[in-house]
């Protein structure tokens, strides 16, 4: 089959096993402007809108993407060439594959070259929702105070130059200022990142940002802008050459940036919007009044579970999540971490059986058709771990519970940042904005076992909490011993914990 470029004019000729947009894309309006068009957005929110558009009635809810980062330039070029279409390859655990073309994105603005265009787009009253996937780090939360980090250079720049923004907050504030001046309705700001209370956090960060810029604007935002909380979920690995080749072969199409994802998808949204919203529930999302317990369950089990496998598996020398969890030493450790150190902190949820939820997570992680790399999982651990794992440690310590399984994961993160090689002495690819700082503190471990914990912004007071520092020091000692072997250490840590628990219940 000779390959066609993926674009609107070529859709009609595609084989029938490919699910294409059955709606008239020329009639769509971008009621949603989305900042941060990564793989996750394209597998999740844009997919939900695509499903919704397949039946009439939601034409005003298409998406205009915004790329803030310099490396979004090539994404813009590809999307323009492809009429903003892309392939979504949905891979089920049993090998079934759903082949789709997603048509819900109808425009994309590359912000660095078109700042005013982005501000005007957000300020335009046809924009009802500004949604975000800017990653955990993109919120610029000062980990010590929980407030906006005003020292962050991009935030400082945007406060000094409100008409020349770089950050999502800078653009949103500039647009809301115009809305306020025009007495127009405010748009909703909808976070789709893995942060507990993501709406509340976004609101807090935006209000402290605008308080620096224009206190009246800040008050207006506090009064009129809605920030719904949401739990978002779909595992979406980084696109590889194999994914591009798959689409070329099975769709007969050249798509330079297809997305592959798992079949599971979940979106639980607080029904709190300033200016209307799509009926995402018709496409499988769930509207609730309080999303807190769903967020906590997902972040502390799924995202934390990923980081547990990611760090331990990287030191062992594994490359992907499915490979790591197929090793019983790792799946047993993960399940014990979930059962013993996370589940006691979670609230009962109507309609959710936690045991089944955890079983499903193990099944999802085991999906052999999703080659989710440990490099992706461990990337930006400095922004992820405080929310995914360290928060759990603090809550357990406050309740007087042992944290030895999490302590080994954090000690492994120290070893990983220090040596940057696996047990076979092969280099590990570490992607973290705090990489140098992590390495600097980790390098001192041989002189001072707790040195890594001095990074107070990440760990808070863990160093001075004896119940933690003791188990952490034990883990460091085991990991740094010349004969150290991660699987043996995991096994011993687990056995010691189980033994102690058995004694307690006697």
Residues that bind ligand CS2 (CB under 6 A): 194, 233-235, 303, 306, 377, 384
CB of 305 to ligand CS2, least distance (A): 8
Contacts of 175 (CB under 8 A, 6+ apart): 119, 121, 122, 123, 130, 187
State the helix-helix crossing angle for 153-160 and 168-181, rounded to 10 degrees: 20
CB of 416 to ligand CS2, least distance (A): 14
Which residue lies nearer to ligand CS2 by CB, 377 or 471?
Answer: 377
CB of 266 to ligand CS2, least distance (A): 8
CB of 320 to ligand CS2, least distance (A): 12
Cα angle 67, 189, 69 (rounded to 5 degrees) comes to 15
Which residue lies nearer to ligand CS2 by CB, 149 or 380?
Answer: 380
Residue closest to 295 by CA, chosen among 381, 192, 373: 192
CB of 55 to ligand CS2, least distance (A): 26
- 53, 329, 355, 366, 408 from 361: Cα distances, Å: 30, 17, 10, 8, 21
Cα angle 38, 41, 42 (rounded to 5 degrees) comes to 85
Which residue lies nearer to ligand CS2 by CB, 234 or 371?
Answer: 234
Query: Which residue's CB comes closest to ligand CS2?
Result: 306
Which residue lies nearer to ligand CS2 by CB, 61 or 365?
Answer: 365
User: How do beta strands 286-288 and 266-270 pair?
Assistant: parallel
Specify the DSSP element, H or E, that contains 230. Answer: strand 230-233
User: How do beta strands 86-91 and 97-102 pair?
Assistant: antiparallel
Phi, psi of 426 (to 5 degrees): -90, 145
CA 129, CA 132: separation in Å to the nearest integer?
10
CB of 249 to ligand CS2, least distance (A): 26
CB of 44 to ligand CS2, least distance (A): 8
Which residue lies nearer to ligand CS2 by CB, 375 or 473?
Answer: 375
CB of 194 to ligand CS2, least distance (A): 5
CA 82, CA 358: separation in Å to the nearest integer?
39
Specify the DSSP element, H or E, that contains 457. Answer: helix 456-459
Residue closest to 43 by CA, chosen among 105, 95, 93: 105
Which residue lies nearer to ligand CS2 by CB, 103 or 237?
Answer: 237
Which residue lies nearer to ligand CS2 by CB, 31 or 38?
Answer: 38
Which residue lies nearer to ligand CS2 by CB, 358 or 449?
Answer: 358
Q: Which residue bears the tokens 């405080």?
A: 386
Contact present, 418 and 448 (Cβ < 8 Å): no
- Three-state secondary-structure class, residue 89: strand
Which residue lies nearer to ligand CS2 by CB, 213 or 301?
Answer: 301
Residue closest to 465 by CA, chosen among 402, 415, 414, 383: 402
CB of 377 to ligand CS2, least distance (A): 5
3-state SS, one letter per residue, for 154-183: HHHHHHHCCCCCCCHHHHHHHHHHHHHHCC
Instruction: Give start and end residues of each alpha helix (H) in 214-349.
Output: 215-224, 241-251, 292-297, 304-316, 321-325, 328-336
Which residue lies nearer to ligand CS2 by CB, 204 or 376?
Answer: 376
CB of 314 to ligand CS2, least distance (A): 13
Which residue lies nearer to ligand CS2 by CB, 36 or 170?
Answer: 36
CB of 325 to ligand CS2, least distance (A): 13
């Amino acid at each position: 089959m000779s390959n066609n470029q993926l674009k609107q004019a070529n859709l009609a000729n595609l084989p029938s096993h490919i699910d294409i947009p059955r709606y008239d894309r020329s009639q769509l309006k971008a009621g949603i402007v989305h900042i941060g068009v990564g793989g996750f957005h394209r597998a999740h929110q844009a997919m939900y809108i695509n499903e919704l558009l397949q039946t009439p009635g939601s034409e005003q809810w298409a998406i205009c993407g915004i790329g803030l980062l310099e490396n979004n330039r090539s994404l813009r070029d590809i999307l323009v060439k492809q009429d903003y279409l892309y392939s979504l390859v949905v891979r089920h655990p049993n090998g079934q594959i759903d082949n789709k073309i997603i048509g819900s994105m109808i425009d994309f603005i590359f912000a660095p070259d078109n700042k005013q265009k982005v501000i005007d787009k957000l300020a335009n009253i046809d924009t009802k929702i500004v949604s975000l996937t800017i990653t955990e780090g993109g919120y610029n939360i000062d980990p010590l105070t929980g407030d906006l980090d005003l020292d962050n250079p991009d935030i400082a720049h945007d406060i000094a130059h409100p008409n020349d923004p770089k950050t999502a907050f800078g653009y949103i504030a500039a647009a809301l200022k115009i809305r306020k001046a025009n007495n127009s309705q405010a748009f909703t700001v909808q976070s789709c990142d893995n942060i507990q209370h993501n709406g509340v956090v976004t609101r807090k960060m935006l209000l402290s940002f605008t308080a620096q810029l224009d206190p009246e604007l800040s008050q207006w935002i506090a009064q009129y802008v809605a920030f719904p909380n949401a739990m978002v979920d779909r595992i979406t690995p980084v696109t590889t050459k194999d994914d591009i080749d798959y689409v070329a072969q099975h769709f007969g199409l050249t798509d330079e940036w297809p997305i592959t994802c798992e079949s599971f998808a979940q979106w639980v949204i607080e029904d709190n919007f300033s200016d209307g919203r799509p009926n995402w529930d018709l496409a499988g999302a769930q509207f609730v009044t309080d999303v807190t317990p769903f967020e906590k369950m997902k972040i502390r089990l799924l995202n934390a579970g990923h980081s547990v496998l990611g760090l331990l598996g990287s030191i062992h020398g594994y490359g992907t999540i499915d490979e790591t969890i197929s090793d019983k030493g790792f799946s047993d450790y993960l399940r014990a971490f979930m059962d013993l150190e996370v589940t006691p902190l979670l609230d009962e949820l109507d309609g959710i059986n936690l045991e089944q939820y955890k079983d499903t997570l193990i099944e999802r992680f085991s999906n052999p058709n999703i080659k989710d790399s440990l490099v992706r999982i461990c990337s930006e651990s400095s922004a992820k771990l405080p929310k995914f794992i360290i928060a759990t440690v603090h809550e357990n310590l406050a309740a007087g519970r042992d944290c030895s399984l999490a302590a080994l994961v954090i000690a492994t993160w120290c070893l990983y940042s220090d040596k940057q090689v696996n047990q076979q002495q092969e280099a590990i690819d570490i992607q973290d904005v705090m990489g140098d700082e992590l390495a600097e503190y980790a390098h001192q471990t041989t002189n001072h076992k707790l040195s890594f914990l001095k990074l107070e912004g990440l760990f808070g007071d863990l160093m001075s909490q004896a119940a933690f520092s003791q188990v952490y020091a034990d883990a460091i000692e085991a990991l740094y011993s010349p004969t150290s072997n991660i699987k043996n250490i995991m096994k011993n840590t687990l056995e010691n914990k189980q033994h102690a628990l058995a004694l307690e219940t006697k």
